[in-house]
Amino acid sequence: MTDSRRFDELSDELARGVRDNPELVGLALMGSASEAGRHRRDEWSDHDFFAIAADGAGPRVRADLSWLPRQEDIVLALPEGGAGVVVLYDDGHLLEFAAAHPAELEGALAGLTTVTVDDEAGTVATLIDESQARAAASIAIDPALEVGLALIKLRIGVGRDRRGEVVSGGLFVRTWAVQHLVRALRGRLLDPDEPLRDILEPTRRLERVLPGPAAALAEAVAQPVEPAARALFALMRRELEPGWPEFPSRAADVIAARFGW
């Protein structure tokens, strides 16, 4: 959806669908769909949101999605983890959302959010305030912990790859190790209040804030499992170890020795 006007029109239609459904009490647009995130929006932006149901109505509004706009254009609608739903339209646009009553979202985290529909009690605003407070409390990064976990994931992944479990090994190296390494890089090299951070997904917009390490990460994960792991290992030692006494150098040496690197 490349047209900003069309994006806003769909947001308005979502709000109308929520208002017209007696089992829904509110709508909160999130991420690039929110007003605060508008500047991040491009042709690949999806509609991320919470559709808040009346108490006990969460399963029903997930089962009956007739409140969503443009029903004739929906080509796929699937449950995704608990209260989550993902919907694909025939132009390739995505809706990714939770449709749930408040009790189902007790542990939810929220970043940039605009509440567009709410009830008189302010149920949605309260839920979002609580979700944002939880997210803010969870964003502190312990770089030493993260780089240690990245090393462990590399150890597991390369071991599985050498055993012949290439798919599983690749998941540990290219996904879990990378996620921990990115958190370590952000926590060690960037201001904790850097404006482009995404409190829910640390790999987002990495290319804009750490272009060198981001390019090295992309090059690493494009390789087979063990070369990818060796490149990630070299990256973490190059970018993080010098001048940082908390870097787990002995553990890194053990892993290098174990694999003959």
pLDDT of 20-46, one tens digit each?
999 999 999 998 898 988 888 888 899
- From first CA to last CA, the distance across the chain in angstroms is 47
Mean pLDDT of 188-216: 79
- Which stretch of DSSP H or E encloses residue 27? strand 24-30
What does pLDDT average to over the chain? 91
Tell which CATH classification among 2.60.40.1120, 3.30.70.100, 3.30.460.10, 3.40.228.10 matches the domain 4-138: 3.30.460.10
Task: Produce one character per residue of 3-14: b if its CB has 16 or more CB atoms within 10 Å, e if not.
Answer: eeeebeebbeeb
Smallest Cα–Cα separation from 251: which of 148, 180, 177, 159?
A: 148
Q: What is the pLDDT of residue 201?
A: 74
pLDDT of 173-197, one tens digit each?
999 999 999 999 998 988 766 665 6
Q: Is the pTM of this model over 0.85?
A: no
pLDDT of 144-155, one tens digit each?
999 999 999 999
CA angle 170, 229, 191 (to 5 degrees): 105
